[in-house]
């Protein structure tokens, strides 16, 4: 049980699920008025949860706190976020990893100074990035956080067959077991049926694409030492920042 779940069960979390729409939460207080050093690590600890409503409250709450706390408060809270973020990354659960990568991306793109402040923590956070940077067969959706689903898709190299009506047959397996250790803690959920597919079309993302997007954000905002630090931990990473040749 995470600290977030224990505190929520005790009634200590100043937010609840908003039933007026999907993925909504309602705060009892302005999140910008909360002490980010105390509450943001608590919400980050909750992103390891995969059950409703803990997952929804932790993820949306962390996003709201990040965007409303301000850069100074964010930098003050940052050292306290590393341990719960590392714990989330080390779960090996695709549903948790996707949220962790997305929140790190949000931090670095919301506040310019966060990327550079994260450089000393690359050795603690980036080993997981190295492991999953090129995993493009595991899909997640961050649209509907209530169901916490992930699934696999493996497309064959052979040309798809054509049915009698001339339509190409989609030949790929969905919901197949993963060959990596990504799903040791939780097997992938079955692929959504057509009537459940809201948020699983254009919104689906591979774990690898989320890793690469976050690494690019860390490089762009991380200052002069970011690229060397990232490539030390993720040797296969190629710089996304154009170089200007000296005249």
pLDDT tens-digit profile of 23-63?
789 999 999 999 999 999 999 999 999 999 999 999 999 99
- CA gap 152, 139 in Å, rounded: 6
Q: Which among 140, 240, 130, 125 is positioned nearest to 186, based on CA atoms?
A: 140
Q: With a cut of 50, which residues of the chain have pLDDT below it?
A: 165-181, 183-202, 246-247
Position 244 scores a pLDDT of 57
The model carries a pTM of 0.81
Position 243 scores a pLDDT of 66
Position 77 scores a pLDDT of 98
Q: What is the DSSP string of the chain?
A: --HHHHHHHTT--SEEE-TTSTT-EEESS-GGGS-HHHHHHHHHHGGG--STTHHHHHHHHHHHHHHHH-HHHHHHHHHHHHHHHHHHHTT--HHHHHHHHHHHHHHHHH-HHHHHHHGGGHHHHHHHHHHHTT--SEEEESS-TTT--EEEEE--SSPPPB-TTSPBP---EESPPPSSGGGSSSPPPPPPPGGG-TTSSTTEEEHHHHHHHHHHHHHHHS-TTHHHHHHHH-TT----SPP----
Q: Are 121 and 80 in contact (CB under 8 A)?
A: no
- CA gap 40, 74 in Å, rounded: 9
- Residue 19: partners with Cβ closer than 8 Å, 6 or more residues away: none
Q: How far are the Cα atoms of 89, 111, 152, 226 from residue 119, in angstroms, in the given order?
A: 17, 14, 32, 6
Position 103 scores a pLDDT of 97
């Amino acid at each position: 049980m995470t600290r977030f779940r224990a505190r929520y069960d005790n009634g200590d979390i100043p937010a609840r699920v908003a039933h007026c729409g999907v993925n909504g939460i309602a705060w009892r207080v302005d999140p910008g008025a909360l002490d980010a050093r105390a509450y943001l690590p608590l919400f980050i600890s909750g992103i390891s949860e995969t059950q409703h409503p803990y997952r929804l409250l932790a993820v949306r709450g962390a996003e709201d706190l990040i965007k409303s706390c301000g850069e100074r408060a964010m930098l003050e809270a940052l050292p306290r976020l590393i341990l719960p973020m590392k714990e989330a990354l080390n779960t090996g659960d695709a549903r948790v990893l996707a949220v962790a990568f997305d929140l790190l991306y949000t931090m670095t793109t919301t506040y310019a100074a966060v990327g550079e402040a994260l450089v000393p923590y690359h050795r603690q956070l980036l080993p997981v990035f190295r492991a999953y940077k090129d995993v493009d067969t595991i899909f997640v959706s961050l649209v509907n956080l209530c169901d916490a689903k992930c699934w696999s898709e493996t497309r064959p190299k052979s040309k798809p067959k054509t049915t009698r009506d001339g339509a190409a047959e989609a030949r790929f397996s969905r919901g197949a077991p993963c060959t990596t250790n990504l799903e040791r803690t939780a097997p992938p959920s079955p692929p959504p049926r057509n009537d459940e597919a809201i948020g699983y079309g254009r919104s689906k993302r591979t774990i690898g694409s989320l890793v690469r997007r976050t690494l690019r954000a860390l490089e762009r905002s991380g200052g002069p030492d970011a690229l060397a630090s990232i490539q030390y931990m993720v040797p296969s990473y190629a710089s996304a920042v154009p170089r200007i040749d000296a005249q």
